[in-house]
Structure 1
Amino acid sequence: MPPRARRFVATVAVVFFLIFWIWGAVTVHDLLPKAWWIDLIFFTVAGVGWGVPLIPLLRWADRE
């Protein structure tokens, strides 16, 4: 697959993944108890955690 096509596929996949990730984070947040420290931990994990599953996809898209 040409590099340009791989990058396009990766871009579309990232957009769909982020839509799913945000939907999941909002759904899980609604189930948690209402406390500021729980929000702090949850949004820290959710805000940083989205990048970890995308690392293999981005490496694949950047291959020669």
Structure 2
Amino acid sequence: MDTQPYKPPFLPIGVRKLLGTIIILVGLTAYTLAAVWLAVDVLPDHWAVQLIFYPIAGIAWAFPTKPLIDWMQRPDSLDGQ
């Protein structure tokens, strides 16, 4: 069995969590500002548009955040210990 020596990750888990948290906070702030701008200045003031927009805008931020959270939680060791 050919085993490769353990190579430490480029970014340890503590640094990944800090960096990921900062990216999430900045990204979520930008997303919120963009969603508010879109809702107030761009979309028509109609109840049907709001009924569609707000649930979509409220959930859409989670999809790009999931891979980032997975990256933040990835273990440092090769065998997952």
Residue 64 of structure 2 is aligned with which of 47, 50, 53? Answer: 53
Is structure 2 residue 52 aligned with structure 1 residue 41? Answer: yes
Pairwise CA distance, 1:36: 1.2
Moved more, 28-37 or 4-13: 28-37
Identity percentage over the alignment? 33
Coordinate RMSD, CA, aligned: 0.8
Please point out which of 16, 25, 43 is paired with 2:26: 16
Of structures 1 and 2, the one scoring higher in RCO (CA 8 A, sep 6+) is 1
* Bigger helix fraction: 1
Superposition TM-score, scaled by structure 1 size:
0.93
**1:55 Cα deviation from its structure 2 partner:** 1.1
* Aligned structure 1 segments of 4 or more residues deviating by more than 4 angstroms: none
Structure 1: gaps spanning 5 or more residues: none
**Structure 2 gap segments, 5+ residues each:** 1-10, 76-81
> How many matched pairs?
64
Tell me which structure has the larger Cα radius of gyration. Answer: 2
